[in-house]
Amino acid sequence: MTKLLIDFALHKADDDKSWDIALDLYRVSRLLLNENEVEHVSKLKDKSLEDFDKLKETLEEKLTYAKSEIVSQSKVILNDFENKGISENDIKPVFGYFSKLAKEDFTVKYGLVWQTKLLNGDTLYPKRVSGAIADSIDEIQSRIASNFETTKVLFSEISFLRNFQKSIVPLSVLNVVNKELQRIKEEQNILLISEFNQLISNEIKGQPAPFIYERIGERYQNYFIDEFQDTSEMQWQNLIPLTENALVTEPKPNEQHSLLIVGDAKQAIYRWRGGKPEQFIDLYEEENPFYIGKNIENLDTNYRSYSEVVDFNNDFFSFLSHKFQNETHQELYKIGNNQKQNTKRGGFVKVSFIENVLEEEATILYQEKVLETVESVIAQGFVKADICIVTRKKKDGIAIADFLLEKGISIISSETLLVNKSKEVRFIVSFLTYLLHPENKNSKMEFLNYLYTKLEVKTSEHEFYLNLLQLSSQELFKELAIFHQIQFDYETVQTLPFYELVEQIIRAFYLVNSSDAYVQYFLDEVLSFSQKKQTGIQGFLEYWELKKDKISIIAPVGADAITLMTIHKSKGLEFPVIIFPFAELDIYKEQDSKIWYPISKEEYNGFSEAYLHFNKEIESYGETGERLWSERRAQLELDNINLLYVALTRPKEQLYIISKKTVNKKTREENENLFSGFFIGFLKQIGEWQEDNDDYEFGESLKLSSKTTIKEEKELLFTSSSRLDHNLAILTKAGFLWDSELGYAIEKGNLIHLILSKIGYKTDVDIVFQEMVLKGIITLEQEGILKPILINLIEKPEMSIYFEDDLDIFNERAILTKGGKTLIPDRIVFKGNKATVIDYKTGSFDLKHEEQVNRYASVLSDMGYVVDKKLLVYLDDKIKIREVS
C-alpha cells in the first residue's frame, strides 16, 4: 500500500501538480458512494494490484509501438520530400507537421485549413512554387494524405493511451480503498446509507412480486412521487415493483389505486447525484413500465410570478430552445415553456451588463452593481427579507456577502456565511495554534494583529508588535495583564478540558458581549468534536483545517435580512425579488471531469472500461469517442440551461439579471457558449440591443405586493462562566464505593478492567485516562492511583509484547460460535495467523476461568487461527498473570 501511495504522489508530480494526495484520495474515494458510479466501480472489485501492474505494462507496450509507428510514417514522407527535392519552404505546414512527429513532438493540431485541402485534393503549395517541385508535390499528395490519416489515428491512440495511463494509479488506489472499506464493514457489521438503493435493487431484480415490498404494497394503494426529475434511475427501478403491485391489484368497491408523478424536466439540476431528466422525458413521452395506460396533464399556468416575469421567461427560453443539439431538449423548451399568466399583472425585469474585464475587477463591478440594485429595490418599498441573491458558485456568493456585510446590510445564508469568516473565530484558531506551538511567530502575529485593533492600543502597530513578539509565553501574558487587563493564566489553562479552554479564551479576551452566531457555532463545533474525539488542540486544529471552508451558520427564518444562496439551494423556493449576478457561466466548461470509456477485455488484460479525463480529444477516439463527446455536450447544455431556468423562475415580482458584456472586440459578436451571450443574443433578436447601453428594462419598477411581516429581533447577551468560579466538581460513581475497604477492592478491579478495555496500544494510556477524567468516570485522585498500576502491568516483559503498535487488537469484540452463542473475550491479540487470548479477572483463581479461556481459544482455532498463548490477568491489589495450558 505504501508503494502505491508513493506512486500516486509521483504520478501527481509528473502532471505538475502538488504531491499531496490527501484531497485526491478523498475525491477518488467518493466514487464508492456515488450512485452513478456503482456499476463501473463494481467491475474493478475482483482486480488485484498485480492486475493493475500488468495493465500498466500493456499500456506502455502499446504506447511504445504507437510512437514508433507515428515516427516511422512521418519519416517516410520526409524521405519522399528529400528525394524529390521538396524543401520546408515549398510546403511549410505539411513539412512542419511531419517533422514534429518524426521527433516525437506531439504538439501538432488538427482541423487546420491545410489539412482540409490535403484531404480534398486541393493544392498544398503557394503560387511561387511551380515547375518540377509543384509536379512532385502533386505526384505524392495522395501518399501524403494517406500517411496523414494514419498518423492522425495513431495520434489519437497515443492520446487515448496517455489519458488511460493517468487513471491507472488512482483506480488501483480506489480498489484498495474499496477492499479496505468492505473489510471494515464486515468487521463492524455495518452498511453505508448510500448502499441501500443498490442493495434493494439487487434483491428485487428479476422478481415479479418482490417479497420486500409485499406488505407495503398491500397496505398502500395510492402513491405520489414529487420532484420526479430528481429521482435517480436506481431509485425509480426500485419503486416500480412497489407501485406496480398496487396498480395491477383489482381495487375493492369505492376504492382507487393510483400513481401520481409530478416533475419538471426543465428543473432537473442534480444529474451529479443521479437525477436524470431524460428518465422523466421518456416517461411522459413513449416509455411506460406498467401494463396500464397513463394520463398526462401539463400544468401550464404560472401561479407564482407577475405577468412581466412570466412573459420575459417565456420569450427568453423559447429563444434559447434552438441552442440545443438534441431535438428532444429543443422540444422541451419550445413546447413546455409557454406558461400562461395568472391574475397578477405587472412586475419588472432588468438585465444589466458590467464591463468585460478580468475576474478580480469584474467581482468588484458585480459587488457594486448588486449594492446599487439592493438600494433601488429597498427605495421602492421592499424590505431586505423580500430579496434573494442567487449565484451559480459558492465563492461568488461569498464575495457578495462579504461586500454587503461591510456596507452594513444584513445577510442570511446557509452557504456563504462561513464560521471561519469571523475575526473572532480566526483569533481563537490562531491562539490555539500558538498555545500548541509557542515558537510559531506566524500564529503569534495573527492573534496580536486582532488584539491591536480590539484593545485600541495607542502606541504604533510596529511598537506594539516589536514589544510583544520577542516575549516568552509567560512574559507575554503578564504584559497583557498589566497594560491591557487581559487575565489569562497560561499554566492553568493547559490543564483544562478542550471545550473549557476555548470558552476561557473567549472570556479572557472579551471576544463577545452580545450573542455572536459565528462564535456560538464555533463553540458547537468544538463541543461536538470534544464529545467524539479526545485528541485536544492538535486534533482539533487538523480537523478545523479540513472543515473550515464548509461549516456555516444555519439561516434563521423571518429576520429582516437579504437571503443569499446558490441556484441549487434556491430550487423550489420563491421570493418577491431575485437578483442574479455573475450570470456569465460557460455551459460547456467542466472542472476535472471524468468519463468511463468502454474498451476490449481481450486487449486490455480483462479490464472493460477506462476511466478518462473528459476533454476535446475524446471526440477523436473513434465512433465511441464521438458518441460520448456528443452525449456529454448535450447533457451539459440541458443541465446548465436548466440551472438558468431555475434561477430566473424564482421571483414573484421582480427579477434582476447582472451579466458581463462578453462580445468579440473585432466582430462584436457574442459568445454563444456563455449565459451572457444568451442574454445579448436574446436582446438582439427582439431588437433591443445597443452597444452603448448596459441596462434593459421590462415592465415598471413598482412594488405591487403586500408588506412583508418581519419578526422583531432581540439582542441576546453571550453568557459563559467557568465551573471553577462556581466551585463545581463532577461526582463519580466510583467515589461512593471507595469509602469502604471492600468497595475499594471491587471498584478498583472493575475500573482497571474498564480502562484496559479501552487501551489498544501503549500510546493509548494517557489519552484513555484523560477521557475517563473528563467524563467523570474517575477523579484525578483515582487517576493518580490507577495509572501507575496500569503502566506497570503494560510494561511487564510478559505483557508489553501484546501492546505493540504492529499488532491487531480486538478488545471485547463479540464472536458468534457455530452453535449460535456469543462469546466476548476481554482481549485478543493477532499477529498474522497467530492469536493470543487475554482475559481479565478479579478475585482468586478458579478452574472456570481456565475453561472460559480455553473455550475462546477453541472457537479461534475453528476459525483457522493458531492460538499461541492463553493468559489470565488477575486485577487485585497485586496483579498476577497466569498462563493457561
Lowest mean pLDDT among 448-452, 595-599, 626-630, 868-872: 448-452
CATH number for position 390: 3.40.50
- Which grid cell is 59? 499500456
CB atoms within 10 A of CB 196: 11
Assess whether pLDDT exceeds 90 at residue 489.
no
Dump pLDDT digits (tens) for 28-73: 777 887 888 888 888 888 888 889 989 999 999 999 999 999 999 9
C-beta separation of 379 from 364 below 8 A: no
Give yes or no: residues 70 and 42 share one domain.
yes
Of all residues in the chain, the percent with pLDDT exceeding 90 is: 37
Give yes or no: residues 543 and 616 share one domain.
no
Give yes or no: residues 744 and 664 share one domain.
no
Answer yes or no: is 710 within a domain: yes
List C-alpha distances in Å: 249 to 81, 258, 295, 301.
80, 11, 19, 35
Give yes or no: residues 179 and 64 share one domain.
yes
Q: How far apart are CA 330 and CA 322, in angstroms?
A: 6
pLDDT: which is higher, 291 or 262: 262
Answer yes or no: is 307 within a domain: no
Answer yes or no: is 246 within a domain: yes
Average pLDDT in the 362-378 region? 96
Give the closest residue to 150 by CA, choosing from 93, 81, 73.
73
Give yes or no: residues 34 and 141 share one domain.
yes
DSSP 232: B
DSSP lists the bridge partners of residue 699 as 348
Dump pLDDT digits (tens) for 690-722: 999 999 999 999 999 887 766 655 555 555 655
In this prediction, residue 612 carries a pLDDT of 93
Lowest mean pLDDT among 233-247, 482-496, 520-534, 757-771: 482-496
CA torsion 157-162-166-171 (nearest 10°) is 30
DSSP 268: -
Q: Within 727-866, where are the H helices?
A: 733-737, 741-758, 765-774, 780-795, 797-800, 847-862
Q: How far apart are CA 56 and CA 62, in angstroms?
A: 10
In this prediction, residue 740 carries a pLDDT of 46
Q: How far apart are CA 430 and CA 515, in angstroms?
A: 22
DSSP lists the bridge partners of residue 660 as 354
Q: Where are the strands (E) in 669-755, listed by range? A: 695-699
List C-alpha distances in Å: 486 to 274, 426, 507, 749.
55, 18, 10, 46
Q: How far apart are CA 734 and CA 737, in angstroms?
A: 6
Domain boundary among 136, 154, 188: 188
Give yes or no: residues 217 and 162 share one domain.
no
Dump pLDDT digits (tens) for 191-225: 877 777 777 777 777 666 566 666 665 678 889 99
In this prediction, residue 739 carries a pLDDT of 47
Q: How far apart are the first and last CA of the chain?
A: 38
Give yes or no: residues 222 and 176 share one domain.
no
pTM of full prediction above 0.85 = no
Domain boundary among 143, 170, 188: 188
Answer yes or no: is 339 within a domain: no
Assess whether pLDDT exceeds 80 at residue 11.
no
Please give the mean pLDDT across all residues of the chain: 85
Give the closest residue to 494 by CA, choosing from 514, 473, 515, 516.
473
Query: Which helix or strand (DSSP H or E) is residue 26 part of?
Result: helix 22-29
CA torsion 36-37-39-44 (nearest 10°) is 180
C-beta separation of 266 from 337 below 8 A: yes
In this prediction, residue 156 carries a pLDDT of 95
What is the pLDDT confidence band of residue 249, given thresholds at 50, 70 and 90? confident
Give yes or no: residues 354 and 393 share one domain.
yes
Q: How far apart are CA 490 and CA 477, in angstroms?
A: 7
Average pLDDT in the 394-419 region? 84
- Which grid cell is 555? 439561516
List C-alpha distances in Å: 413 to 253, 370, 491.
52, 16, 40
pLDDT: which is higher, 56 or 745: 56
Provide the domain count of the chain.
5
C-beta separation of 392 from 582 below 8 A: yes
Give yes or no: residues 96 and 58 share one domain.
yes
DSSP lists the bridge partners of residue 350 as 656, 697
Q: State the pairing for strand pair 834-841/827-831.
A: antiparallel
Answer yes or no: is 161 within a domain: yes
Lowest mean pLDDT among 45-49, 395-399, 457-461, 756-760: 457-461
Q: How far apart are CA 533 and CA 539, in angstroms?
A: 8
Give the structural domain span for 138.
2-188
Degrees (nearest 5) of the Cα angle 23, 26, 31? Answer: 135
In this prediction, residue 735 carries a pLDDT of 44
Answer yes or no: is 634 within a domain: yes
C-beta separation of 689 from 683 below 8 A: yes
Answer yes or no: is 728 within a domain: no
pLDDT: which is higher, 503 or 488: 503
pLDDT: which is higher, 42 or 352: 352
Answer yes or no: is 280 within a domain: yes
Give yes or no: residues 177 and 96 share one domain.
yes
Domain boundary among 721, 754, 787: 721
Give buried/exposed letters for 125-134 (b at 16+ CB in 10 A, else e).
Answer: beeebeeebb
Give yes or no: residues 486 and 389 share one domain.
no
Degrees (nearest 5) of the Cα angle 111, 113, 117? Answer: 110
CATH number for position 234: 3.40.50.300
Give yes or no: residues 173 and 100 share one domain.
yes
CATH number for position 807: 3.90.320.10
Fill in the amino acid letter for 764.
D
Q: State the pairing for strand pair 822-823/815-816.
A: antiparallel
Assess whether pLDDT exceeds 90 at residue 368.
yes
Residue at grid coordinates 427568453: 316
